[in-house]
Structure 1
Amino acid sequence: MIMSIQSTMIVDKDFKLAEVDPRVYGSFIEHLGRAVYGGIYEPGHKTADEQGFRSDALAAIRALNVPIIRYPGGNFVSGYNWEDGVGPQEKRKRSLELAWWTTETNQVGTNEFADFAKLVGSEVMMAVNLGTRGIDAARNLVEYCNHPSGSYYSDLRIAHGYKEPHAFKTWCLGNEMDGPWQIGAKTAAEYGRLANETAKAMRWVDPTLELVACGSSGSGMDTFAEWEATVLDLSYDNVDFLSLHTYYNNNEDDTPNFLARSLDMDQFIRSVAATADYIKAKKKSKKTIYLSLDEWNVWKSQGSSRAEQLWQVAPPEFEDVYNMEDALVVGCCLITLLKHADRVKMACIAQLINVIAPIMTENGGPLWLQTTYYPYLHTSIYGRGTVLHPLITSPKYDSKDFADVPYLEAISVYNEELSEVTVFAVNRHLSEGLELTVDLRSFGAVHVLEHIVLEHEELKACNTKQSPETVVPHNGGSAQAEGGRMTALLAKASWNVIRLRVNT
């Protein structure tokens, strides 16, 4: 006998939270581990194209419809000289890369990554080095990438074979500059001043840029909130976004507590938004700073192996194997991002391939998809439109670090153009199904298009090279609709995507 508990959700077409900025489904590729070399780029691989990009990786990324990809770091960018990665590949120097203690061949740089982004249909979120460098290198890079012609750096790009400018719109002003692990780490005042002056110079080259200032490296930093307030106080008028970084793990093997981690993300977002709004009030500004959660994921690895792999080229790093419970947490985090669609306009699951990633490859071998690929895929494809305020009732539980954790984590997105409502839902209960009733009467008659489910009896089940389809979604969900109400039984510990057609 299948046990179940009750939950309800009211979705009204007039209770609109915000339009989803597609960039909330962004990702991240850093020169770290095998994300670039052996991930997206492997000349000589049987699937490699004429530039050396793996066609199997390109296909898996295209399927995700990733709108924007952050590049080239990450910690890497704080010691990166962008000039080393442009021009003839055979003339590029090999560099000691101090963030991860590897040798960087510079075979992939700005132009190659621009080509890659076009191949997968993504924009580039470019990062500038504010660790070892600053204003001059940043404004020169903008000139190289975005200015049409007639100046030294724009003409240099043309000489390198790229007549048309890359027109990168979104730029990160450094990375995790509060972290002592960062090359050129700074105090909030030092960074805020530098970010402001760099932003001014970059915008004088290209006034259309959107700029992202570094927030704290995480909410656990001693200077958290004070850092955000100081940085924004010094740069408010010249930046558009503030970054957030957060990662979660189940190192204590406490699944109920792990599944509640998205509540921490929710509070993190609220805290940073409140801090930004404090500075807005202080400055009596009409401008709102939006949030870019440009690093987030489940991260299980315990530190880097860089000390044992000193100065190697693209050694394996942080190649986490994700299981069913990791997919549930990623699903809950994606729902949380949608719940804050009014403020979170960009987000990057970190990273895209091989490094704490939904996609894995073997050098010279196959590609396979991790469990976390599927919630990311589903929200990116079906989570476009308007987020609607949900009214949810759900039984709750307490865990080690959280109280009143709802068993039902859910949100709905209305795509008016397609006349579709999609409900994304996670059942956190580990032993019982969850009977969900959704009131959709404001839409009139609706019918179920499909009910996608990701589930597995064993929460530690994962996909590997040998068994790549151990955990895959199916379309066998039980959702039904009648009289403007949808009912479904959400299996225990499951990710659910229920697509409904509105009969307009």
Structure 2
Amino acid sequence: MKALLKVDPANQISTIDERIYGSFIEQLGRAVYDGIYQPGQATADKDGLRQDVIDAVKKLNVPIVRYPGGNFVSQYKWEDGIGPKEDRPTRLDLAWRSIETNQFGLHEFMNWADKVGTKANMAVNLGTRGIMAAANLVEYCNFPKGSYWSDLRRQNGQEKPYNIKTWCLGNEMDGPWEIGQKTAYEYGHLANEAAKAMRAVDDSIELVACGSSSMDNPTFGDWEKTVLDQCYDNVDYLSLHRYYGFYGDDDPNELDNYLGKNIDLDDFIKGVVAICDAVKARKRTKKTINLSLDEWNVWYHSNDQDAKTAPWQKAPHLLEDVYNFEDALLVGSLLITLLKNSDRVKIACLAQLVNVIAPIMTNDQKVWFQSIFYPYMQVSNYGKGIALTPKVDVPTYKSREFDAVPYLDSIATYDKSQKTITIFAENKNQSEKIDFKTLFRDLDVEQVIEATQFYGYDVKADNRDGKMKLQPLNATIDDHEVKAQLQPLSWNMIRVRVK
């Protein structure tokens, strides 16, 4: 099979907002406790933060991390997690039916974020709390000094403001599982009023309103329209969440369908964009609402185990999916889909980062990387600059849900500052290699800097044994074209230098 990718620097999707490679830490399961925070563990520093986890997160180059939820935030009182640890209350976490000790809170998270070199995407509770609790949190975090909350921050050891710029107005407020679920009108009105108060404290912040938590929800579409009718002028982004699962056992036809689910994500994104733009037209405004896909991933492996987990434990083992090779292939395609929509998706958060549906796992002794770690690491590190519109000539296949899935999923990014083109390419064919060629227009290709492939594993294999790794890919330049042979079921990256 042959495939051709045409790369033209004049044919651009958008400059990539690197927040598209964000992630998520929620007070859930072992994401925080026994994950990023484990006092007494062999690598833990004086603040109880695991250095081995910090080092692992740095490999992913995560630019922004959403915190503290997630469903957790809708019953969270942020004041419980500040001040002397001995004075912090232990609470029932109603979202995940766990015990929350509050030994890790705002200051601990911001300290950890600084150590890993990331920024905060802070969520406020609009489920069981409201306007002034949100505004007070902005004041605590961002106001210099001379007010009650800013001076309390300084009293608690943080002299300078945290200057958090990205804020989520609640979480999944359309979901019946959410503590404090709202109707679209109720939520839209509350989000608008909270946004006004938060901006009164700091008018430099950007705000994310809750869109639908799933395209499958019966309120999808109407929810977005009604919410934006209420708060369009005072927010900057609308969120969407999407998770995928595989339920076809070893059926090769179901694998074909699973690997085509990035088409579903593309449809979801384009549908929400259309709704946002329809509200824009009706309001006769020049302001454009962009998107924050602030929860996305594969999530299904842990469902049965989670149903058996007893409630009211501290840091229970919840949502600990162990990802296999087919999951890594889907995550790679989902990342390519984000780049293809980078004109409107400006923030995205792989949910989550450590232990909970995560690329990084821990036990008391060590850290290990899941299969999905590898495509995420490569795209977050090298998908820089400008996303170029992919012109791909390749055959397609029909699956149970999708009429035309390309056997090759590919895109190129152009980093002018580094004079590099990075090509991400996935072969979804289960049996055939692809003779892959990239044709460059108005670009003089000098050399292949790096070429890797991730392949050769059984689709059900995971990385608990630590044997998965990126391997060299033979990519050559011939008459200003880059050529490579892509193995069946493989994730590939080729980086080239251009003049």
The 10-residue stretch of structure 1 (8-17 or 166-175) with the greater mean CA deviation from structure 2: 8-17
Aligned with 1:219 (options 215, 221, 228)? 215
Worse overlay, 10-19 or 95-104? 10-19
SS where residue 13 of structure 1 aligns? Answer: coil
Q: Residue 390 of structure 2 aligns with which residue? A: 390
User: How far apart, in 1, do the equivalents of 2:94 and 2:137 lie?
Assistant: 21
CA distance in 2, matches of 1:309, 1:468: 30
Partner of residue 426, structure 2: 426
Within the alignment, does 1:474 sit opposite 2:471 as a pair? Answer: yes
Paired residue secondary structure (1:411)? strand
Q: CA offsets, 1:369-426, max 9 Å, x none?
A: 0010010100011101111112111111011111110000000000111110000011
Q: Name the SS for the 1:451 alignment partner.
A: strand
Measured in 1, the distance between the counterparts of 2:407 and 2:393 equals 10
Q: What CA RMSD, in Å, does the superposition of the two structures yield over aligned residues?
A: 1.0
Amino acid at match of 1:358: P
The unaligned stretches of length 5 or more in structure 1 are none
Secondary structure (helix, strand or coil) at the match of 1:27 reads strand
Aligned to 1:356: 357
The yes-or-no answer on 1:344 pairing with 2:340 is no
SS of the equivalent of 1:501 reads strand
Question: Could you tell me the TM-score, scaled by structure 1's length?
Answer: 0.97
Find the counterpart in structure 2 of residue 266 from structure 1. 266
By how many angstroms is 1:258 displaced? 0.5
Aligned mates of 1:271, 1:344 — CA distance in 2: 12
Instruction: Within 5 Å, give how 1:159-198 maps onto structure 2.
Output: 159-198=155-194
Q: Secondary structure at the match of 2:278?
A: helix
- Alpha-carbon distance in 1 for matches of 2:194, 2:307: 32
Residue identity matched to 1:440: F
Amino acid at match of 1:472: K
1:453 match: 453
User: Displacement, 1:430?
Assistant: 0.6
| Structure 1 equivalent of residue 321 of structure 2 | 320
Alignment CA distance shift 1:288-1:439 (3 Å)? same
Residue deviations 1:253-274 (CA, integer Å, cap 9, x gap): 3211100000000000000000
Contact persistence 2:9–2:441 (CA under 8 A): no
**Whole-Å Cα distance in 2 between the matches of residues 304 and 28 of structure 1?**
22
Q: Secondary structure at the match of 2:197?
A: helix
Amino acid at match of 2:299: W
CA shift in 2, pair 1:303/1:272, >3 Å: farther
- Residue 111 of structure 1 corresponds to which residue in structure 2? 107
For residues 120 and 69 of structure 1, the distance between their equivalents in structure 2, rounded to whole angstroms, comes to 10
Instruction: Tell whether the 8 Å contact from 1:447 to 1:482 is kept in structure 2 after alignment.
Output: no
Q: Which residue of 1 aligns with 2:80?
A: 84
Counterpart AA for 2:466: P
Describe the SS at the equivalent of 1:154: helix
Instruction: Tell me the residue number matched to 1:13.
Output: 9
Q: Give 1:251 deviation, angstroms.
A: 1.7
Q: Distance in 1 between matches of 2:327 and 2:457?
A: 14
Structure 1 counterpart of 2:323, which letter?
Answer: Y
Do residues 35 (structure 1) and 31 (structure 2) align? Answer: yes
Rounded to whole Å, the distance in 1 between the matches of 2:20 and 2:446 is: 28
Q: Shift of the alpha carbon at 1:306?
A: 6.5
Is the CA contact (8 Å cut-off) linking 2:325 and 2:457 kept in structure 1?
no
1:102-129: CA deviation from partner (whole Å, max 9, x where unpaired): 1100011111100010000000000000
Q: 2:496: which partner in 1?
A: 500
Shift in alpha-carbon separation, 1:24–1:16, aligned structure 2, 3 A:
same
Distance 2:11 2:260 in 1: 26
Deviations 1:23-80 (A, max 9, x none): 0000000000000001100000000000000000000001111000000000000000
- Residues of 2 paired with 1:391 and 1:180: CA distance? 42
CA distance in 1, matches of 2:371, 2:357: 12
Q: What residue number does 2:228 align with?
A: 232
SS in 2 for 1:496: strand
The amino acid of 2:183's aligned partner reads T
Contact 1:85 1:110 in 2 (8 A): yes
**Matching residue of 1:285:** 285
2:118 counterpart of 1:122: yes
- The aligned counterpart of 1:207 is 203
Q: Distance in 1 between matches of 2:304 and 2:176?
A: 15
**CA distance in structure 1 between the partners assigned to 2:44 and 2:79 by the alignment:** 26
Distance verdict in 2 for CA 1:161–1:99, change over 3 Å: same
Question: Per the alignment, in what secondary structure is the counterpart of residue 9 of structure 2?
Answer: strand
Q: Is the 8 A contact 1:73 1:127 kept in 2?
A: yes
In the TM superposition, what is the alpha-carbon distance from 1:304 to its structure 2 partner? 7.1
Distance in 2 (CA, whole Å) between partners of 1:441 and 1:500 is 14
Q: Tell me, what secondary structure is at the counterpart of 2:390?
A: strand
1:276-324 deviations in Å (ceiling 9; x for gaps): 0000000001010010000000112326737742211010001111111
CA contact (8 A) 1:70 1:126 kept: yes
Q: Which moved more, 1:65-74 or 1:5-14?
A: 5-14
Are 1:123 and 1:168, in contact at CA under 8 Å, matched by a contact in 2? yes
* Match of residue 296 from structure 1: 296
How far, CA to CA, are the matches of 2:308 and 2:431 in structure 1? 43
* Residue of structure 2 in register with 1:139 after alignment: 135
More displaced 10-residue stretch of structure 1: 331-340 or 308-317 = 308-317
Whether the 8 Å contact between 1:102 and 1:306 is mirrored in structure 2 is no
Give the drift of 1:457.
3.7
**Helix, strand or coil at the partner of 2:474:** coil
- Residues 324 and 456 of structure 1 are in contact (CA less than 8 Å); yes or no, is this contact kept in structure 2? no
Q: 3-state DSSP class of the match of 1:313? A: coil
Q: Which secondary structure state, in structure 1, belongs to the residue aligned with residue 11 of structure 2?
A: strand
Distance (whole Å) between structure 2 residues aligned to residue 284 and residue 456 of structure 1: 54
Identity, in percent, stands at 53
Give the partner amino acid of 1:207: D
More divergent stretch after superposition (207-216 vs 306-315): 306-315
* Structure 1 Cα separation of the partners of residues 326 and 306 of structure 2: 25
What is the identity, as a one-letter code, of the residue corresponding to 2:133?
Answer: A
Partner SS for 1:66: coil
Q: Is the contact made by 1:127 and 1:171 (CA closer than 8 Å) also made in structure 2? A: yes
Shift in Å, 1:13: 1.3
Cα distance change on mapping 1:306 and 1:432 into 2, 3 Å: closer
